[in-house]
Amino acid sequence: MFLGTYTPRLDDKGRLILPAKYREELSYGLVLTRGQERCIYVFSQREFEKQHEQLAQASLSSRRARDYARVFLSGASDEVPDKQGRVTIPAMLRSYAALDREVTVIGAGNRIEIWDSTAWQEYLQQQEDAFSDTDEEEIPGLS
């Protein structure tokens, strides 16, 4: 499970040093793709395969499912971190998430998210009040 918040920097080649506690899980490969709220999702190879299997269950006659799968999968890039734990973020994904040098990497359970640091701070500020007021009626199973 991926947890925590980190603030590495992108280098001039668009590479990011993965947080040390994530490296073992991702050492054999990972997949970067577009995420919601203009962040980048990072999945282990195994978890990305699970996500693909779930997408494949959707009906081909569902336009929303087709549209989602197209955007999600067409932006995907499989990568293997180098010996220093660096991974290159493709230019298309850096553009999608408006990444510059300052990024925030968060653990989100089954995935990692890479955010522009300013965008993350704005998002978090907006969401913290709603989070503190959330109760079980809004999220079933939450206790």
d(CA 51, CA 140): 22
The predicted pLDDT at position 129 comes to: 82
The predicted pLDDT at position 142 comes to: 61
Q: What is the pLDDT along the chain (143 residues), one digit of tens a residue?
A: 999 999 999 999 999 999 999 999 999 999 999 999 999 999 999 999 999 999 999 988 999 999 999 999 999 999 999 999 999 999 999 999 999 999 999 999 999 999 999 999 999 999 988 888 776 666 666 65
Pairing of strands 112-116, 40-44: antiparallel
d(CA 45, CA 32): 10
Q: How far is CA 58 from each of CA 44, 49, 97, 131, 133, rounded to the nearest angstrom?
A: 22, 15, 26, 30, 33
